Amino acid sequence: MENLDRIGLAIIGCGTIGRIRAELARQYPGVDWLGLCDISAERGKVLADDVNADFFTTSAAEIVARPEVNAVMVLTDENNHTEPALLAIEAGHKKLFIEKPLATDPCESAQILEAITANDVDARIAYTQRFRRRFLTIKERLTNGQIGDVHSVITRAFMNRMVPIATIAKTTQRKNLTPMVVSGTHSFDMSMWLMEGKTPVSVYARSTAKALADLGTKDSTFGLFTMSDGTIFSMNISWGLPVVWPGAVYGIEIGIVGTKGVIDVEDTHRDLVLATEEKLPAGYTTRSFEPPMERHVDFLTSYPPGDIWNGQFWGPMREETISWFTRIMMGIDTPHASAADGHRNLLLTMAMDRSAALGKEIALPIDPEEFDLD
């Protein structure tokens, strides 16, 4: 695929993640034109002024049609990826970056993937944790066969309920905004990436809803996948931990057992604790979300995108964004998830939800249209 001599970047979505990536884009020498788009003119113009954007509009169709644009980032809310992604593809853009999930509707996800494939688009999906040093190191060791053939994987994710509160409260389209589809997908993608080449053939799952039932979502979903080679993968997430839980967002534990060894991952961030008499800000912020009670203890570095130093953003989201710019300018291979990875992740996380709802094991693969039967 042809590389870019310079980047004319359109960013669609000016929320929390849009702001982070726009600031990084403005700092990157290869981005010599930056346009922004958001349905909220007020929010978008504030960011446009802050990053000295070259253009702003509330119309996704208008920005992807600009002659300066040759790369597009779709950073809208989870439910709103489909239209801007398809508009960018229809406009002929070959460099596309989409926040996870690819879509929240399985048929729309399939539609986006089909368009990407048919038009030979280099589309990458934002699974930021792939860019953390520890997971890149693990991936390299597994690729080199240092623990032999992997046959058992256990993944457990604990999350502060600020994420579902802030995510779900801003939309009425909540059907597919479950722990697995919205947040478990990160640890799920990580596990599937580390088990690359293994194909799930069935899943059995259970969910519970008590603390977050009023929001129309589940508290926890636990599942067991079986792979075609007999490998078993236990994927468990709870995003119902209390707001005062010190983890700002994610705490993960992963155990990977092979025929010749084991890799045990403790990624709960409990090794860096801040306790203070001062009120702490929300670890997860979006659209002025404020926690309903004061927080005084934090596991530092538990905000997945990264952290602020001296007014600058540092961490895996910086690595991921800059790496994408380098990819599209120089053609260097990167750890980014592909569109096919993103579609697979959506279908498998939704299959977990479907198994839990039906109370039975689900055979895989599953057709996107089957979800409409539930």
- CA of residue 284 relative to chain centroid, distance: 14
User: Using 50, 70 and 90 to split pLDDT, how confident is the model at 170?
Assistant: low
369, part of any domain: no
Provide mean pLDDT across the span 208-228: 94
Q: 2: buried, middle or exposed (CB in 10 Å: 19+, 13-18, 0-12)? A: exposed
Phi, psi of 56 (to 5 degrees): -140, 145
Q: Is the pLDDT of residue 333 over 60?
A: yes
Same domain for 160 and 122 = no
- Half-sphere exposure of residue 36, counting CA atoms within 13 Å on the CB side? 30
Same domain for 329 and 214 = no
215, part of any domain: yes
87, part of any domain: yes
137, part of any domain: yes
279, part of any domain: yes
363, part of any domain: no
Provide mean pLDDT across the span 219-224: 97
Q: Is the pLDDT of residue 373 over 90?
A: no
How, if at all, do strands 250-258 and 7-12 pair?
unpaired
Q: Would you state the pLDDT for residue 135?
A: 97
Q: 155: buried, middle or exposed (CB in 10 Å: 19+, 13-18, 0-12)? A: buried
Number of domains, the chain: 2
Q: Which CATH number fits the domain that encloses residue 109? A: 3.40.50.720
Q: Would you state the pLDDT for residue 268?
A: 96
Q: Would you state the pLDDT for residue 38?
A: 98
161 versus 121: the higher-pLDDT residue is: 121
Same domain for 284 and 197 = yes
Same domain for 294 and 167 = yes
Same domain for 153 and 277 = yes
Q: Would you state the pLDDT for residue 224?
A: 98
Q: With contact defined as beta carbons under 8 Å apart, do 130 and 136 qualify?
A: yes
Provide mean pLDDT across the span 262-275: 96
User: Using 50, 70 and 90 to split pLDDT, how confident is the model at 178?
Assistant: confident
Q: Would you state the pLDDT for residue 229?
A: 98
Q: Would you state the pLDDT for residue 359?
A: 96
373, part of any domain: no
List the one residue out of 188, 208, 182, 161 whose CA is nearest residue 252: 188
Phi, psi of 52 (to 5 degrees): 55, 50
* Residue-wise pLDDT tens digits, 29-88: 999 999 999 999 999 999 999 999 999 999 999 999 999 999 999 999 988 999 999 999
Query: Helix or strand or coil: residue 279?
Result: strand
Q: Would you state the pLDDT for residue 269?
A: 95
Same domain for 123 and 134 = no
**Tokens for 31?**
């981005």
321 Cβ neighbours under 8 A, 6+ residues apart: 20, 21, 24, 25
Q: pTM for this one?
A: 0.93
Which residues pair with residue 158 across a beta bridge?
Answer: 238, 251
List the one residue out of 316, 281, 339, 301 whose CA is nearest residue 17: 316
Same domain for 298 and 154 = yes
Which residues pair with residue 103 across a beta bridge?
Answer: none
Same domain for 286 and 138 = yes
101, part of any domain: yes
Same domain for 52 and 13 = yes
Q: With contact defined as beta carbons under 8 Å apart, do 225 and 203 qualify?
A: yes
Q: Is the pLDDT of residue 374 over 80?
A: no
Q: Is the pLDDT of residue 176 over 80?
A: no
Same domain for 185 and 288 = yes
Q: With contact defined as beta carbons under 8 Å apart, do 327 and 318 qualify?
A: no
Q: Which CATH number fits the domain that encloses residue 156? A: 3.30.360.10
Q: Would you state the pLDDT for residue 281?
A: 79
Same domain for 171 and 235 = yes
Q: Would you state the pLDDT for residue 163?
A: 82
User: Using 50, 70 and 90 to split pLDDT, how confident is the model at 257?
Assistant: very high
% residues pLDDT > 90 (the chain): 82
Q: Would you state the pLDDT for residue 280?
A: 87
Alpha carbon dihedral 346, 364, 196, 138, in 10-degree steps, equals 70
172 versus 56: the higher-pLDDT residue is: 56
Q: Is the pLDDT of residue 286 over 60?
A: no
* Residue-wise pLDDT tens digits, 90-120: 999 999 999 999 999 999 999 999 999 999 9
Provide mean pLDDT across the span 233-240: 96
Domain that includes residue 254, residue range: 130-304
User: Using 50, 70 and 90 to split pLDDT, how confident is the model at 284?
Assistant: low
Provide mean pLDDT across the span 166-179: 71
Provide mean pLDDT across the span 194-205: 97
Q: Would you state the pLDDT for residue 249?
A: 86
CA distance 36 to 46: 11
Same domain for 263 and 151 = yes
